[in-house]
Every structure is written in C-alpha cells, then in structure tokens.
Amino acid sequence: MSTLGFNTGYVEELYREFLENPESVSESWQEFFADFKPSESFVAAQENRTAVGAAKPDLTTAREVSEQVAESPAPESATSTQALDTSAPDAEAPTPETPTKPLRGAAAKVVENMEASLAIPTATSVRHIPVKLMAENRRLLNEYQRQIGGEKVSYTHIIAFAVVKGLLSIPNLNSTYSKQDGKPVHVLPESINLGLAIDVERRGKRTLMVPNIPDTGNLNFGQLLGAYNDIVQRARSNQLQISDFEGTTVTITNPGMIGTDLSVPRLMPRQGAIIGIGSIDYPTQYYAFPPEVMSKTGISQVMTITSTYDHRVIQGAESGAFLAHIEQLLRGEHGFYES
C-alpha cells in the first residue's frame, strides 16, 4: 500500500465506502477493491468502529481481508515504518484532563506516511529566482488565451513545465532508490510521471492527495495545461481513478499559494525528488518602498524554489544544476517561451 504514499488515506476512505455500498465507486475502483488488502491499521479501525456501535460496513468482508493480511505479510518494499525502526519515540502520554482525539482514516495515514518518509536520507537545494519575465510572458499568454477562448494560464502551469524541462535536462533527478533481492539498486524510470500535491475538502475535512500526470516529458505546454487542469478538476470532484496515483516519479507542491516563502516538504518512498514552490513577492527589504519607486528602479518580484531529493542516488550538484536550469528557463533562455 506504501506505493500510494500520501494517497493511502484517500484510497482507504473510498474502500470504506465500497464496503458499505460497492456501487458508490466507479467500475475501475470496484475492480481494484475486489482483491484489495487494506493496512492493519485500517482493519483495526474498522473493528473499533464496530465495538463502539458505529455505523459499519460488512464486517465479514473486513475480517476476511484482515485474515488475508495476517497470512500474507507485505513485501519488504511495503513494510510498515515499525520495521524500519525510524520513527521518533512516542511523546509523553497526555494527562487525564488533557482532551485527546483518535487519529483514524486519512489522518492516521498521514502519520504513517510522515514516519515512512523519515527512512529516506534527503537533502534540499534552495534557489531564489526573479519572476519579472515570467510574469510578463504569463500576461501575454493569457491575452492570447482570452482571444481564442482558451484556459487561463497560472504561474504554477509555467513552473511545472519548467520543472519537466529541467528533469529532461538533468534526468537523474527523476530516479529513485530501491532494493532488489535484498540489494540496493538505482531505479531509472523511462518516463516522467509528475505528481501534483492537491489539497481538497472531503466531508468537512482537508485531505492531501498526489495524483500524477503520466509521461509529462512528451507533452508540449498546451497538452500539459490541459492535463494539469483535468487532474485538478477530477481531484476536486472525486473522480480520480487508481491509475492516477500509480508510478509518480517527482512531485511538485505549491505552498506559495497561501503565502509560504519557502518549503522543505517530505519526500515519499519511490520518488526521486519533491519540488517546493514558494510565494511570488518583492524581497522583504523592499516592502516599505512605494510601488512607483520599485518600478522605476527595476526591482523584480522573486520566488523561492526548493528541490528535496533522495541523497542515496542524487547528489547536491545535480539538484543545484537542476534548479539553475529552471531559472534559466523562466528567464527566457533555451527558447522556453517559444516552445
């Protein structure tokens, strides 16, 4: 199940709906869940829901799955973080008068995924990039899009395209680490499957999911724009399929949308890197300047971009060169805006 990373909680929520009513999910999910083996924590949570008298799915099915899990240990690549012994010791137990709240479902999966990420030795490269030229080209693109009735272009669309071009230039950033017959191996995927970290609301709760756009290295900008918008729309309307989560090689996350300047996100197993996009703004030392002064002096807005990578197979020089290439592209080099 670890192959689904951040998406595990979302998938198990769908599985719970499937147990209650198989027709509530699409045919592709029904086929996937036919022989699905949920995590032990999911089975335990289901049994706990039964014990307290909560509304529950078919327990015979859940218990049968639990027995299958017990009889069929997970392969080494999908073992729990307890086997890795990398999790931090439990915090001191709260006092009896301290309110507590059980972490179940997607929230429990976030805990497991975060602990699993601790097993990956990562490092992070950081680069500050001027965005004046990108902003001007985005304005021109959107003027053209309005004339033809096309989709609006965001900064993230342009940056995602630059990330893909950067991965084509420095392909080792798209590689990852694994084990084969108990021995370490360097995995070199044939395609770039670009994951998009998307925050969505389900049943009044925030859920992070990371579907991917497959084979992005062979898409032009217009194709990437359409694929990007399609997967975001399907994520928000609960229309994603299991294939949308499989085989992610590199992920981009954009906390800059909520004003975060710099982010060092967690890297999930089986991915080479995760790229963090910071907010676009003027340098803080110029905040007090009037806008007309900044315009006359040519001060540009800037963006901070980070590359957090698996240091077992990717070196700092490669990550640094990758970010440098992205800056060159966003500044108009290599014919980026003509492509």
Active site residues: 311
Return the HEC string of 108-135. HHHHHHHHHHCCCCEEEEEEEEECHHHH
Q: Compute the distance between CA of residue 207 and CA of residue 194 in angstroms, rounded to an integer.
A: 19
Of the candidates 336, 8, 7, which has an alpha carbon nearest to the alpha carbon of residue 160? Answer: 336
